[in-house]
Structure 1
Amino acid sequence: MKLEPSLLFDVATWIPDGRESVGEMVSAGRLTAGDAEDLALTEVPVSKDLSAPEMAVRAAARVLDGTGWDPTRIGLVAHGWTYHQGHDFWSPAHYIACRVGASEALPVGVQQMSNSGAAALAMAVEKLIADPGAEAALITTADRFSLPGFDRWSADYGVAYGDAGTATLLRRPGPDERPGALLLRALAFVTDASFEEMYRGRDPFSAAPLAHGGRVDVRRPKKAYLEMRGGIEEFRLGAVRCVDRVLRTALSDAGLETDDPRIVLVALPRLGDSVLDLMYRPVLDGTVRAEVLSLRESSGHLGAGDLSANAEHIACSGALKSGDIALVLGGGGGFTWSCAVLEAP
């Protein structure tokens, strides 16, 4: 998606106070020393009482308070998530729209695994492009990975899951609008849907949630998939190809070359080293001359929220000077990979 003009982009996160540390998990036998080294983090945030949508509302309040934007002027609320939102048959997007005061917005729920936040952002971009009457869009994400349904430490390979809510206010530049924290210059996606089987494996389709054992176990279908495919190599080659393509597409849409000196930061998803080494780092090595950020140390993987949380870190860090560019990479099972091009105004 090539954006001319760029869209103003303000983002906030809400992180709960609870924590679970890697050291505690190793001592308790819930995490091996080898897995702990691969994760390369110290702790993850844990919500003890708030549901995922409640965390999204708190993040949205922060971004609206920070911008002074009237929520009744929001045309779209797009909420992305990865795991259970607190009720079985319900629309969390409508709850968020109601709680933030976006009474006339269109609420939409987006589920695209860990790429849900980026997919929700794409819906917001398209809304603002297609609908001249839409002044702004609110994009939220939130996940809470709690027992008994989800063991954040052992459910997956190379990933520990943290709880958080994020919110992004996206809007057009205008004569009376103050500069946003960032400008969204481009947003690109590349999909290879042949890999959807990785999260299904040999499991049959079920009639109800958590029918295969009562707890989310991502390792079981992944192990079966690798057995059926004869190893990881097919996926590795496809993933590297897709990450390279989405990076180059985003840069092309933004009118940038890979060696443009304005590109100063590249943020990676908040995943373990084994996953980053499999598909992301091989693409960046020798391609983009920029500092590579891996911001997982005290958060782990925030489900649908990595892209937004990484963008907030970049905006608040002061690392970008006017005109500097940051790239934020993402992806989610299925698989779809994403890249956002952000500029300091």
Structure 2
Amino acid sequence: MRTGGRIWLSAADWLPAAAEKTADALAGGRVTIDEAEAMGYEQLPVSEEEPAPVLAVRAARRALSGAAVRPRDVGAVLHAWTYYQGHDFWSPAHYVAAAVGAHGAVPLGVQQMCNGAAAALQAAVHRLAAGDDAAPVLVTTGDRFARPGFDRWSGDYGVWYGDGGTAAVVGPAGPAAVPRGALVLDALRTRAVPALEAAHRDPGAFHPAPHSAGAVDVRRTKKAFLASHGKAGFLDRLRQETSAVLEATLREAGIGHNGRELSTVLLPRLGRATARDVYGPAVARVTDAPVADLGDRTGHLGAGDLLSNLAALTDDSGPYRLGRGRYAAVLSAGAGFTWSAVVVHRP
């Protein structure tokens, strides 16, 4: 999806102040030394009481304030998540809209696992491109990986999960000025391989109610999947799809032509080993731009990695601040599997 520089976005995140340290997880036997070295992360933010949608609301308020957009002027609220939102039969998207004061907005829940933010962002762009309503769109994510339903340290292979909310206000550039500090969206592409959905599905049976089989155990489903499909082939497919979606997005954005060059490629926050074995080689096939995993103090934020990475590109006090006129790519991926890539620049 080429936007022609007609879309801007202003992103923010909100992470709980409390955190669980890797050193303490090691001491408590929740992770092994090999797992800690492979991940390379220092800590995970932990929400002790606030549920996932509240984290999303906190991030949304920051994003709205940063973009100088009033909640009442928002045309739609697109909320994405990976894990439990606090109620079994309920719309968290409507809660987020009401809580931020976007009472005239149309709320929509987006469930595409950890690629949810990219899916919601793409839906926002489609809405604005349709031209029926030029009102800004609010995209949010919120995830909280709390016990007893989920063990953030050992519930999955090679992924540690942190709690947090993220948000982005997305609007049409048009004749209006881009808000101060916002990024211009140049291209966004998505690919999917639905045949890989079994990596996260219980091979035994479908269940009648949430947690009928106990706590979430992604290790069990992945182990069964890899036993029948093979790990080497699976990892190679991950690399292929990542390279393909990044290459297509860079091409649409005109990167490599007319003097445009990438400053960085930000990766999903899945740890040192995954960056080394999957994303690093996949990116290197397409561009020699430096890559970075910003998950050292956040872990994997479920659906929120993409927007948190975009927020880092405009953090004036952060090391990954994107200079004016410079371009960056941000990768996203989620179970199913789905891959997205976004190219932005700072005007």
Quote the Cα distance in structure 1 between the aligned partners of 2:40 and 2:257.
Answer: 28
Shift of 1:178: 4.3
Q: Name 2:245's counterpart in structure 1.
A: 246
Q: Name 2:322's counterpart in structure 1.
A: 320
Shift of 1:259: 11
Q: Name 2:120's counterpart in structure 1.
A: 120
Quote the Cα distance in structure 2 between the aligned partners of 1:308 and 1:207.
Answer: 33
Q: Determine if contact 1:258/1:287 at 8 Å carries over to the other structure.
A: no
Q: Name 2:305's counterpart in structure 1.
A: 306
Q: Name 2:198's counterpart in structure 1.
A: 197
Q: Determine if contact 1:79/1:139 at 8 Å carries over to the other structure.
A: yes
Which string of whole-angstrom CA distances, capped at 9 and with x for unpartnered residues, describes residues 136-163 of structure 1? 1000001000001000000001110000
Quote the Cα distance in structure 2 between the aligned partners of 1:108 and 1:160.
Answer: 28
Shift of 1:261: 5.2
The number of residue pairs the alignment matches comes to 343
Q: Determine if contact 1:15/1:164 at 8 Å carries over to the other structure.
A: yes
Shift of 1:234: 2.0
Shift of 1:75: 1.1
SS of match in other structure, 1:326: strand
SS of match in other structure, 2:152: coil
Quote the Cα distance in structure 2 between the aligned partners of 1:127 and 1:161.
Answer: 31
Shift of 1:241: 1.4
Which string of whole-angstrom CA distances, capped at 9 and with x for unpartnered residues, describes residues 290-324 of structure 1? 22111011010000000000111111136322221
Q: Name 1:130's counterpart in structure 2.
A: 130
Q: Is 1:236 matched up with 2:235?
A: yes
Matches within 5 A, 1:250-265: 250-257=249-256, 262-265=261-264
Query: Residue 331 of structure 1 is aligned with which of 330, 333, 336?
Result: 333
Shift of 1:2: 0.6
Q: Name 1:50's counterpart in structure 2.
A: 50
SS of match in other structure, 1:342: strand
Q: Name 2:291's counterpart in structure 1.
A: 292
Q: Which amino acid aligns with 1:160?
A: W
Quote the Cα distance in structure 1 between the aligned partners of 2:257 and 2:96.
Answer: 38
Q: Name 1:206's counterpart in structure 2.
A: 207
Q: Determine if contact 2:8/2:178 at 8 Å carries over to the other structure.
A: no
TM-score under structure 2 length normalisation: 0.95
The alpha-carbon distance between structure 1 residues 178 and 193, as it changes in their structure 2 partners (threshold 3 A), is closer
Shift of 1:131: 3.4
The alpha-carbon distance between structure 1 residues 259 and 306, as it changes in their structure 2 partners (threshold 3 A), is farther
Q: Which amino acid aligns with 2:328?
A: A
Q: Determine if contact 1:265/1:293 at 8 Å carries over to the other structure.
A: yes
Query: Which has the larger displacement, 311-320 or 157-166?
Result: 311-320
Shift of 1:282: 1.0
SS of match in other structure, 2:294: coil
Quote the Cα distance in structure 1 between the aligned partners of 2:5 and 2:19.
Answer: 41
Q: Name 1:187's counterpart in structure 2.
A: 188
Quote the Cα distance in structure 1 between the aligned partners of 2:338 and 2:83.
Answer: 17
Quote the Cα distance in structure 1 between the aligned partners of 2:259 and 2:282.
Answer: 16
Shift of 1:174: 4.2
Q: Which amino acid aligns with 1:41?
A: Y
Q: Which amino acid aligns with 1:183?
A: V
Which string of whole-angstrom CA distances, capped at 9 and with x for unpartnered residues, describes residues 252-299 of structure 1? 111223996521111001002333334311112253222211101101
Quote the Cα distance in structure 2 between the aligned partners of 1:197 and 1:31.
Answer: 26
The alpha-carbon distance between structure 1 residues 50 and 94, as it changes in their structure 2 partners (threshold 3 A), is same
Which string of whole-angstrom CA distances, capped at 9 and with x for unpartnered residues, describes residues 46-74 of structure 1? 00111110111111111112222122221
Quote the Cα distance in structure 2 between the aligned partners of 1:307 and 1:79.
Answer: 14
Q: Determine if contact 1:262/1:323 at 8 Å carries over to the other structure.
A: no
Shift of 1:201: 4.7
Quote the Cα distance in structure 2 between the aligned partners of 1:123 and 1:262.
Answer: 27
Query: What runs of 5+ residues in structure 1 fail to find an aligned partner?
Result: none
The alpha-carbon distance between structure 1 residues 290 and 261, as it changes in their structure 2 partners (threshold 3 A), is farther
Matches within 5 A, 1:16-165: 16-165=16-165
Q: Determine if contact 2:183/2:346 at 8 Å carries over to the other structure.
A: yes
Q: Is 1:4 matched up with 2:4?
A: yes
Q: Which amino acid aligns with 1:193?
A: P
Q: Which 4+ residue blocks in structure 1 deviate beyond 4 angstroms?
A: 258-261
Q: Is 1:167 matched up with 2:138?
A: no
Query: Which has the larger displacement, 236-245 or 169-178?
Result: 169-178
Query: What runs of 5+ residues in structure 2 fail to find an aligned partner?
Result: none
Q: Determine if contact 2:67/2:179 at 8 Å carries over to the other structure.
A: no
Quote the Cα distance in structure 1 between the aligned partners of 2:113 and 2:293.
Answer: 20
Q: Name 1:268's counterpart in structure 2.
A: 267
Q: Determine if contact 1:186/1:341 at 8 Å carries over to the other structure.
A: yes
Q: Determine if contact 1:79/1:141 at 8 Å carries over to the other structure.
A: yes
Q: Determine if contact 1:76/1:127 at 8 Å carries over to the other structure.
A: no
Query: Which has the larger displacement, 231-240 or 333-342?
Result: 231-240
Q: Determine if contact 2:76/2:106 at 8 Å carries over to the other structure.
A: yes
SS of match in other structure, 1:315: coil
Which string of whole-angstrom CA distances, capped at 9 and with x for unpartnered residues, describes residues 92-144 of structure 1? 00001011111111100011111011111111111111133232100000100
Percent identity, please.
43
Query: Which has the larger displacement, 199-208 or 27-36?
Result: 199-208
